[in-house]
Amino acid sequence: MEDYKHVSLRDVIRIDRVVNASRLEIGKHYAFEGERHDFWEFQYAALGSSYIYTKNNFYELKQGQITFFRPGKFHVLYGNGRHGAELWVFSFRCASLLMEKFDELLISAPEECRQLMERIVDEAARGFDVTPHPQDGRILRRKATAPFGCEQLIKNRLEELMLLLFRSESGGRRPRGQDEVTPHQEPSGPAEEMRAYLQAHTHSTLSLGQLAEVFHISVTYAKKLYRAEYGVSPMADFHRMKIREAKKVLGSTDLPIREVASLFDFKNICYFSNFFKKHAGMTPTEYRRAQSGPAENE
């Protein structure tokens, strides 16, 4: 018998837990309040376009493009105000170092990758029932009729997809304002933690009392800590954050004012207009008319 030597194949990426792999159809006025989670996610615009908001950026995800969100990255998705869209959403756990290259990357998908993504969502549809916004957090539920080897095919194809995208990443570009990949840093102190919490909730209604309760401190101490670090009260800073993000949406989309108001959790357009005018010196309509390009960054 010949003494042949074997080669141990090396893995550079391993994906063994999948949260989502499905199609998502959204209307032109779709508005998702936003989320952050402890796994990777990427979205592919299969048909039409949508808008993406994160802590650092606001940009359009155009047809044929993919955008990525690392674990812990807050992100919001909504329609472009003109037409509906179909997105393919992929979420999974992966600790491989090469994933660091993908944080908030925006790239055009090569045809080979597009076909592979389609095979993944088709296979996932055969193997799982999909609940887009489940109460228990489980988007995929195994079907009793799933084809043999379905889950391994999904795993293998996802890993192949990420390797192919990694190879082509040199042709990618980052959304405006994102020049390089930086390591994810957690807030180092209570004031920073409060500010990060406020930034992650600009699409919600939040009071100083609620903020203090979240961090198990008194309202007075919360104000003292925050002002000592940032020179402004928590709520004043929160209002500025809301206005800054609302300006981005008003200047970069055609969403109706009422939809923008709803996106930032204002109960009616009148309250939003008054709030906006108080802090920006003009109404949302006046601001939009004054813009000839992307919303200004403060």
pLDDT of amino acid 136? 78
The dihedral through the CA atoms of 233, 239, 240, 242 has a sign that is: positive
Res 182 pLDDT > 80: no
What confidence tens digit (pLDDT) does each residue in 60-78 have? 899 999 999 999 888 888 8
Six-digit token string for 187 = 């807030």
The dihedral through the CA atoms of 76, 211, 279, 199 has a sign that is: negative
pLDDT of amino acid 188? 53
- Start-end of H helices in the chain: 111-127, 150-168, 190-199, 208-214, 219-230, 234-252, 257-263, 269-280, 284-290
Q: Which of these ranges, 30-39, 89-98, 264-273, has the smallest mean pLDDT?
A: 30-39
Helix, strand, coil percentages, rounded to 5, for the chain: 40, 20, 40
**Burial letters 57-68, b for 16+ CB under 10 A, else e:** bbbbbeebbbbb
**Domain residues of the chain, as ranges?**
17-171, 190-290
Which residues, other chains included, contact 46 with Cβ-Cβ below 8 Å and sequence gap of 6+? 23, 63, 86, 87, 88
**How many residues belong to the chain?**
298
Number of helices followed by number of strands (H, E) in the chain = 9, 10
Six-digit token string for 259 = 């939809």
What confidence tens digit (pLDDT) does each residue in 25-54 have? 998 888 776 788 999 999 999 999 998 888
Q: Is 233 or 259 the better-scoring residue by pLDDT?
A: 233
Confidence band of 82 (pLDDT split at 50, 70, 90): confident
216 conformational bin, left if phi > 0, alpha if psi -120 to 50, beta if neither: left
CATH number of 17-171: 2.60.120.280
Average pLDDT over residues 240-260: 86
pLDDT of amino acid 125? 95
Res 199 pLDDT > 60: yes
Give me the percent of the chain exceeding a pLDDT of 90.
Answer: 48
Tell me the CATH architecture of domain 190-290. Orthogonal Bundle (1.10)
Res 186 pLDDT > 70: no
Which residues, other chains included, contact 176 with Cβ-Cβ below 8 Å and sequence gap of 6+? 57, 59, 294
> Could you give the CA distance from residue 73 to residue 65 in angstroms, rounded to a whole number?
19
Average pLDDT over residues 162-177: 67
Do domains 17-171 and 190-290 share one topology? The answer is no
How far CA 61 is from CA of 103, 258, 274, in Å, comes to 15, 22, 31
pLDDT of amino acid 174? 46
Give me the percent of the chain exceeding a pLDDT of 70.
Answer: 90
Res 96 pLDDT > 80: yes
∠ CA 30-31-36, rounded to 5°: 135
What is the average pLDDT value for the chain, to the nearest integer?
Answer: 85
For every residue of 264-289, DSSP letters joined together read TT-SSHHHHHHHHHHHHSS-HHHHHH
Which residues, other chains included, contact 208 with Cβ-Cβ below 8 Å and sequence gap of 6+? 219, 222, 223, 233, 234, 235
**Residue 108 — φ and ψ, nearest 5°?**
-85, 135
